[in-house]
Amino acid sequence: MATSPAEEVAALREKLVRWASAYFEQDEPVVPDSDYDAAMQQLQRLEREHPELADPDSPSQRVGSAPLSAFESVVHRLPMLSLDNAFSAEDLADFNRRAMDRLGRTDITYCCEPKLDGVAVSIVYEQGVLALAATRGDGTSGENITANVQTIQNVPLRLQGVGIPPYLEVRGEVVIPRDAFERMNANARASNDKVFVNPRNAAAGSLRQLDSRITARRPLQFTAYSVGVVEGDLPACHDEMLKELGQWGVPISPYMKTADGVDACERYYEDIAEQRDALPFDIDGIVFKVNAIADQEKLGFVSRAPRWAIARKFPAQEVSTRLLGVDFQVGRTGAITPVARLEPVFVGGVTVSNATLHNSDEIERLAVRIGDRVVVRRAGDVIPQIVSAVADEQGDANVARQDIVFPQACPECGSMVVREEGEAVVRCAGGMSCSAQLKGVVRHFASRKAMDIEGLGDKLIDQLVDDALITSVADIFNLKETQLASLERMGDKSAGNLMVSIARARETTLPRFIYALGIREVGEATARALAQHFLTLEALLDASAEVLEGVDDVGPVVARYIRLFSEDERNRSVLDDLLAAGVHWPAVTEATGDGPLAGTVWVVTGKLESMGRDDAEQRLRTLGAKTASSVSSKTSTVLAGPGAGSKRKKAEDLGVAIIDESQWLAMMEELE
C-alpha cells in the first residue's frame, strides 16, 4: 500500500519518539543506535523534501546541529537569583517568623519542592515556541545553550494548550538521573573514557558541549521550578502556576506539595528525607516558597536571594576524609576490587568507613595515594565512591603517604592474576580453588533472589568454606546437622533451623536456579527470559551461542558467558551433584497464562511500604501476570509507590491504569 509523505513522516516521528523514550527514560534501548540513526536520516530527508511538513515538535529538532565555535552571552532580563540556606528546624522557624512579621500575618502557606542538584537553566517560549535557552552564569548573564536544550527529550519544543503567555520564561533545573549516571560511568570506565564525578557535573558538562549532537546522547532531564519574565497572565499562587506550566507540557516536580505553616513544612522535609535514597535524582534539600505571588512581591529580595524562599539543606552527599589504606577484595567472578579504608565520616546520612576504588585504572585516574585527603560520595543505594583526591600538602603525621600497589598475585589464594584484553578489571585465575571466589559464589547462590537459603549468612559461609565443609555449592545440600551445630556461634536450634531452610531450598524454580548459578551478566531478568525460552535446564546448557542470542535480553557477550559456563566440565559436575542432592523445580510451561491475571502486563515502580518490588512482582507472576520493567502501550497496569517518576508519567501519558499500594493489596487479597 502506497503511503503519502505525510503519513511516512508521522510514522517515523512516532517511532523515533518511542525509541528515544526507551533509550533515555527507561534506559532500555529497543533498537540499535544504527536503526535509530537511519530512521532519523530518513525523517530529515523527507522534511527537507517537503518543507510544508516541518514541525517544531519533530524529533529531528532534537538531534543537535553542527558545533558552535563558542557560546554567545545572554543577559537575563530578570536576574537569576540564588537561595538562602536553612540548616536546621530552628533556621526554618526563624525564616518563617521573619516572613510573617513582614507580611503582618500569623500563618503562611508554602509551596514545597525538592531542591534538585543539577544545573539551573532559563528557557524562553515566544508564542509557545522554544526561542532561547541560557545557563544561569553569574546570575546577571549566562550562555546561550539553546541548541543543547532543544535536544533534551522532556523539554517541549512547543507548548500545547490554552492561555499560554506570548512571552514566557521558564526556569528550572537540568539533571541526570542517578541510574543513568551510574550506567554512563560504568560504560566510561569499561572503555577507559572520562568518568564524571557526580550527576551534577555530568549534567553541567553535557550542557557545556559546543557540539549539541553530543548533548543529544546524554540522558538529561529538565524540571521547572519557577518563571522569569512573563508577558501575560499566570495563576496567583506558585503551585497553581507550576501546575499550569505542567498543563502546557513543561515538566514539573511530582513531589511538589503545599504546606500550611512551618510545622507542615518540617513534616514534608522529614517525609522527603526518608525517601531521599529511593528518589531517581540527587537532591540536596527542600525549597520552601511563600505560595501567594502577591506575598512574594511584598517580601521582595535581599541582595542575591528572595525573602520569600529558603532551601532547607540535607546532610551532604559528598564530604572529605582521609584514606587510611586499601584492601583488595576478591569477588565471585575473581574480580579483584580495591576497597578504600577511610577515616569514618558522616555522608549522605550514614557513617562510611569503606569506599570502592573500582580498579587500577580508577586509582591512576584519581592519582590518589594512601594518606591523602579524598572526597567521598554516597548517594542513594549506590556504594560509597571516592570521587577525587584533595591536594593537601599538610598530610596527617599518623598516616604515612604511600602509593597504592596492585597485587601481582591473588591476595586470597596466591593464584596468578590476569587482565583480559580491553578489560579494566584484574581477576584471580584460581576459580573455585580460590576460597574468596567460592565464598562469593556460595553467597550469591544462597541469596534471597536466588535459592533463598535463610540463615546461611556471610560469616557462616566463611566458616564452612574455611573448614572445607563446602567445596562447591552442591555441598550445601549434604551438610549434616551435627556438623553445623559444632561450628562456632552455632547452637542446636540455629543448626536445626538452617537444615529446614536448606531442605526447603531444594524445591525451587528454574528462573531462580539459573540466576543462582551466577553466570556472568545473567541477572534475574535474563534468567527468567532463559527459563521461559528453553523450558528445561538441559535445553539451556545445550543451546548454541546463536540460539542463545535469539532470546530477549541476550546479546553476544551474555551468550558467550553462558557457553563458557556450560562447556566447563567442573560446572557440569556441580550441576549433576545438585540434581543428585535433590534440587528440583516444577516444569516450566510456555506462558500460556494460567491464573486470574493471565494476559496482563504489570510494571511495579516507586517504593512500596509492605514489601520490596521484587516480591510484589513475584506475587503478580504467581497469579499469571507478566511483569515488565518499562511502561509501554502493552502495559495493563502500573503499581506505583511514592517516588515513581518517569514511569508514572509515561503511564499517565499513555493512559495506562495506575494503582497505589493499598488498592493493589486489596485486589491481591481478592484474587489470591
Residues 6 or more apart from 322 whose CB is under 8 A from it? Answer: 342, 343, 371, 372, 373, 374, 396, 399
Interface residues for ligand IVH in 470-529 (CB under 6 A)? none
* Cβ-contact 64, 146 below 8 angstroms: no
Select 137 or 624, whichever has its Cβ closest to ligand IVH.
137
User: Which of 276, 242, 244, 247 shows the shortest CA–CA distance to 257?
Assistant: 242
Of 25, 47, 143, 173, which lies in the binding site for ligand IVH, with binding defined by CB under 6 A? Answer: 173
User: Which of 318, 298, 294 shows the shortest CA–CA distance to 307?
Assistant: 298
Select 273 or 399, whichever has its Cβ closest to ligand IVH.
273
Q: How far is the CB of 423 from ligand IVH (least distance, A)?
A: 39
Residues 6 or more apart from 318 whose CB is under 8 A from it? Answer: 198, 347, 375, 376, 377, 387
Question: Which is the catalytic residue, given 15, 115, 439, 626?
Answer: 115
Using rule CB under 6 A, residue 116 touches ligand IVH:
yes
Looking at this protein, which amino acid is placed at residue 420? E
* CA gap 613, 603 in Å, rounded: 10
Select 142 or 219, whichever has its Cβ closest to ligand IVH.
142
Interface residues for ligand IVH in 71-110 (CB under 6 A)? 81-83
Q: How far is the CB of 256 from ligand IVH (least distance, A)?
A: 8
Q: How far is the CB of 203 from ligand IVH (least distance, A)?
A: 11
Specify the DSSP element, H or E, that contains 188.
Answer: helix 178-190
Q: How far is the CB of 661 from ligand IVH (least distance, A)?
A: 27
Interface residues for ligand IVH in 197-226 (CB under 6 A)? 225-226
Select 47 or 173, whichever has its Cβ closest to ligand IVH.
173
Of 115, 373, 512, 619, which lies in the binding site for ligand IVH, with binding defined by CB under 6 A? Answer: 115
Looking at this protein, which amino acid is placed at residue 83? L
Select 44 or 85, whichever has its Cβ closest to ligand IVH.
85
* CA gap 672, 545 in Å, rounded: 40
* CA gap 645, 635 in Å, rounded: 16
Select 226 or 637, whichever has its Cβ closest to ligand IVH.
226
Q: How far is the CB of 364 from ligand IVH (least distance, A)?
A: 34
Interface residues for ligand IVH in 421-450 (CB under 6 A)? none
Looking at this protein, which amino acid is placed at residue 204? A
**Residue 68 in grid coordinates:** 558552535
Q: How far is the CB of 104 from ligand IVH (least distance, A)?
A: 23
User: Which of 589, 582, 478, 491 shows the shortest CA–CA distance to 533?
Assistant: 589
Angle 583-587-588 (CA atoms, 0-180°, nearest 5)?
A: 120
Q: How far is the CB of 119 from ligand IVH (least distance, A)?
A: 7
* CA gap 343, 493 in Å, rounded: 39
User: Which of 631, 619, 635 shows the shortest CA–CA distance to 667?
Assistant: 619
Select 44 or 82, whichever has its Cβ closest to ligand IVH.
82
Q: How far is the CB of 224 from ligand IVH (least distance, A)?
A: 9
- CA separation (Å) from 428 to 413, 415, 422, 436, 516? 8, 6, 17, 10, 21
* CA gap 341, 94 in Å, rounded: 41
Select 309 or 376, whichever has its Cβ closest to ligand IVH.
309
- Binding segment for ligand IVH (CB under 6 A), chosen from 51-59, 112-120, 345-353, 653-661, is 112-120
Looking at this protein, which amino acid is placed at residue 466? D
* Cβ-contact 119, 174 below 8 angstroms: yes
Residue least distant from ligand IVH (Cβ): 120
* Cβ-contact 264, 207 below 8 angstroms: no
Binding mask 615-654 for ligand IVH (x = CB under 6 A): ----------------------------------------
Q: How far is the CB of 510 from ligand IVH (least distance, A)?
A: 47
* CA gap 78, 141 in Å, rounded: 10
Q: Position of cell 527537507? A: 48
Select 136 or 512, whichever has its Cβ closest to ligand IVH.
136
Number of helices and strands (H, E) in the chain?
24, 24
* Cβ-contact 136, 172 below 8 angstroms: no
**Residue 39 in grid coordinates:** 530512521
Binding mask 293-332 for ligand IVH (x = CB under 6 A): -------------x--x-x---------------------
- Number of residues located near ligand IVH, criterion CB under 6 A: 15
Interface residues for ligand IVH in 231-290 (CB under 6 A)? 287
* Cβ-contact 659, 638 below 8 angstroms: yes
Using rule CB under 6 A, residue 149 touches ligand IVH:
no
- Binding segment for ligand IVH (CB under 6 A), chosen from 61-69, 115-123, 483-491, 503-511, is 115-123
* CA gap 568, 666 in Å, rounded: 48
Of 39, 60, 74, 113, which lies in the binding site for ligand IVH, with binding defined by CB under 6 A? Answer: 113
* CA gap 108, 406 in Å, rounded: 59
Q: How far is the CB of 290 from ligand IVH (least distance, A)?
A: 11
115 is a catalytic site residue = yes
Select 311 or 465, whichever has its Cβ closest to ligand IVH.
311
Select 81 or 326, whichever has its Cβ closest to ligand IVH.
81
Q: Position of cell 526561542? A: 131
* CA gap 262, 276 in Å, rounded: 21
Q: How far is the CB of 234 from ligand IVH (least distance, A)?
A: 16
* CA gap 556, 561 in Å, rounded: 9
Dihedral of CA 116/121/124/130: which sign?
Answer: negative
**Which positions are annotated as active-site residues?**
115
- Which residues lie near ligand IVH (CB under 6 A)? 81-83, 113, 115-116, 120, 136, 173, 225-226, 287, 306, 309, 311
